Amino acid sequence: MSDKDLFPNGWAPTTRYPDPAVQSLDPAFDKYRLPLAGIERLATGLRWAEGPVWFGDARHLLWSDIPNNRIMRWTEETGAVSEYRAPSNYANGHTRDRQGRLISCEHGTRRITRTEHDGTITVLMDRFDGKRLNSPNDIIVKSDGSIWFSDPVFGILGNYEGYRSDPELPEAVYRLDPETGQASLVADGILGPNGLCFSPDESLLYIVESRGTPNRKILACDVGADGQSLSNRRVQIDAGPGTPDGMRCDVDGNLWCGWGMGDPGLDGVMVFAPDGRPIGRIALPERCANVCFGGRANSRLFMAASQSLYALYVNVAGVKGG
C-alpha cells in the first residue's frame, strides 16, 4: 500500500487494526508491532516540531516548536497542549540528566542549558576554546552523567530558527562534564552532525551526518574504555534518498529514526536492526524530525513531525536516558 493510498485526503486516525501505516519491512519487526495500536496525532498547528523528551514523573512530554520560539507541553492525563516556555531562545533538542533536569540546546543563544528543579536556568556551555558554539542541535546524557551534543551551523544560517551569524567553530560533536565544566571535542569532520544516540550498553555512539555526500548517513563509533573517546568511525546506514534526523534506541538495540525529505513516500520513521538492516517503517503525512520513547512502560514512541506531534504504542521499551 502506497502513502497516497494511506493519506488520500490528508491524515486521519486509523479505523483499521493493525494500522496499515505501521509497516514491516522484515519479519524481525513483526514482534514490535501491536496489532491493536494505531498512530495518534496529539497536537498540530506548529511550524517545525523537534526535540521531544518524556517526563514520566510529571506525565508530560516537552518538545520544541523552533520557528515559533517556544517549548510545548503535552499532558498525558488530560491530552492538553500548552506552552511550557516562550520565548525559548529557539530551543531545539532536549534530554534529561540523571537528576531528572531538562537539558536543552538553544539556537538563539548558541548554548547548552539546564533547567533546575526550581525553574531557574543554568548555562552549561556556550563556548569552546574561547569561541562561540554554532547552534547546538541534538543532545543526550550518558549513564556517567556526561552530556554529548552535536553543533552544526543550521541555526545560524538565517533568521528562521535562530539568528543569522558567521560560524566561529567547525561543526563537531562535543562531550561536556557538567561537574567539572570541562568540554572536549569528540568527533569532527562530519558534514552536518545532527541526531545522536548511544547503543543500549553505550559501547557505540550513533551520529547522523545530515549533509553527507552523495547520500546522508548514520555513522557508528566505538566508545573507548575511558567512556570519553571515540574510534573506528564507519557508515552504519546509508540513507539513500532519505534524510535521517533525530533517533533513539530501544532495549534490543534497534534504531528508530526520524525520516523524510523530498519524496513524501519517505516521510515518517524508519527502524533499523543493530546490524543496519531496515526492518520497519511508520508512515506519516509529514517529515519526522525526531523521536523519543515514553509512557508508563517507556514503550510509547513520540514523533515530532513538521507541524504535528504523533504517538504510537510499540511492543518494546526505549533505552532510558536517551
- Torsions phi, psi of 28, nearest 5? -65, -20
* CA–CA distance, 95 with 62 (Å, rounded to integer): 10
Residues with Cβ within 8 Å of 27's Cβ and at least 6 positions away in sequence, in order, are: none
C-alpha cell at 116: 533546575
Mean pLDDT of the chain: 95
Q: Is 137 annotated as a binding residue?
A: yes
Helix (H) / strand (E) containing 3: helix 3-6
Q: Is 50 annotated as a binding residue?
A: yes
Q: Could you give the C-alpha distances from 230 to 160, 163, 175, 204, 290, in angstroms and in order?
A: 33, 32, 11, 9, 24
Closest-CA residue to 315 (of 295, 294, 296, 300) = 300
Helix (H) / strand (E) containing 5: helix 3-6
pLDDT of residue 265: 85
Catalytic residues: 245
Residues with Cβ within 8 Å of 64's Cβ and at least 6 positions away in sequence, in order, are: 49, 50, 51, 70, 71, 72, 88, 91, 92, 93, 94, 304
pLDDT of residue 139: 98
pLDDT tens digits for 235-255?
Answer: 999 999 999 999 999 999 999
Class of 22-313 in CATH: mainly beta
pLDDT tens digits for 171-189?
Answer: 999 999 988 999 999 999 9
pLDDT tens digits for 69-125?
Answer: 999 999 999 999 999 999 999 999 999 999 999 999 999 999 999 999 999 999 999
pLDDT of residue 176: 98
pLDDT of residue 13: 87
Could you tell me the pTM of the whole model? Answer: 0.96
Sign of the four-CA dihedral 308, 309, 315, 321: positive
pLDDT of residue 65: 98
pLDDT of residue 192: 97
Using pLDDT thresholds of 50, 70 and 90, give the confidence band for residue 322.
low
Using pLDDT thresholds of 50, 70 and 90, give the confidence band for residue 321.
confident
Of all residues in the chain, the percent with pLDDT exceeding 70 is: 98
Place of cell 515514553: 294
pLDDT tens digits for 261-302?
Answer: 777 789 999 999 999 999 999 999 999 999 999 999 999 999
Q: Is 245 annotated as a binding residue?
A: yes
Q: Quick check: 194 and 210 in contact, CB under 8 A?
A: yes
Q: Is 315 annotated as a binding residue?
A: no
Compute the average pLDDT of residues 204-225. Answer: 96
Q: How many residues does the chain have?
A: 322
Q: Per-residue b/e over 187-209, b at no fewer than 16 CB within 10 Å?
A: beebebbbbbbbbbeeebbbbbb
